[in-house]
Amino acid sequence: MDWMIAALLTQDGLSTGAIYVLLAVSLVLVFAVTRVVNVAQGEFVAFAALTVAQLQDGRLPGITFMVLGGGVLAMTMEVLARRSGAGLWRPALLYLGLPAALSAGAWAASSWSAPYGVVLVLTVALVTVLGPIVYRVAFQPIASASALTLLIAAIALHFVLTGLGLYFFGPEGVRTPALVDGGFEVAGMPVAFQPLLVIALSGLAMLALYLFSGFTLAGKALRAVALHRRGALLMGIATDRAGGQAFALAALIGALSGVLIGPMVTIYYDSGFLLGLKGFVGAIVGALSLYPTAAVGALLVGMIEAFGSFWASAYKEVVVFTLILPVLLWRWFASPVHEDAHD
Please check the confidence at residue 6 and state whether its pLDDT lies above 60.
yes
Mean pLDDT of 59-71: 95
Q: Which distant-in-sequence residues (6+ apart) come within 8 Å of 206 by Cβ?
A: 21, 22, 25, 295
Please check the confidence at residue 315 and state whether its pLDDT lies above 70.
no
Where residue 334 falls among pLDDT bands split at 50, 70, 90?
Answer: low
Least confident of 46-50, 262-266, 327-331: 327-331
- pLDDT for residue 290: 67
Question: 205 or 311, which is more confident?
Answer: 205
- pLDDT for residue 1: 61
Question: 231 or 340, which is more confident?
Answer: 231
In three-state form (DSSP H/G/I as H, E/B as E, the rest C), the secondary structure along 241-277 is HHHHHHHHHHHHHHHHHHHHHCCCCCECCCCHHHHHH
Least confident of 101-110, 223-232, 324-333: 324-333
Question: 87 or 231, which is more confident?
Answer: 231
Where residue 341 falls among pLDDT bands split at 50, 70, 90?
Answer: very low
Please give the Cα distance from 178 to 184 (Å, whole number).
16
Please give the Cα distance from 71 to 134 (Å, whole number).
9
Counting residues of the chain whose pLDDT is more than 70, the rounded percentage is 91
Per-residue CA distances from 231 to 16, 36, 217, 302 (Å): 38, 19, 17, 38
Of 229, 224, 219, 222, nearest in space to 340 by CA:
229
- pLDDT for residue 85: 64
How much is the mean pLDDT over the chain? 86
pTM over 0.85: yes
Mean pLDDT of 143-153: 91
- pLDDT for residue 62: 93
- pLDDT for residue 84: 61
Tens of pLDDT, residues 108-137: 999 888 899 999 999 999 999 999 999 999
- pLDDT for residue 339: 46
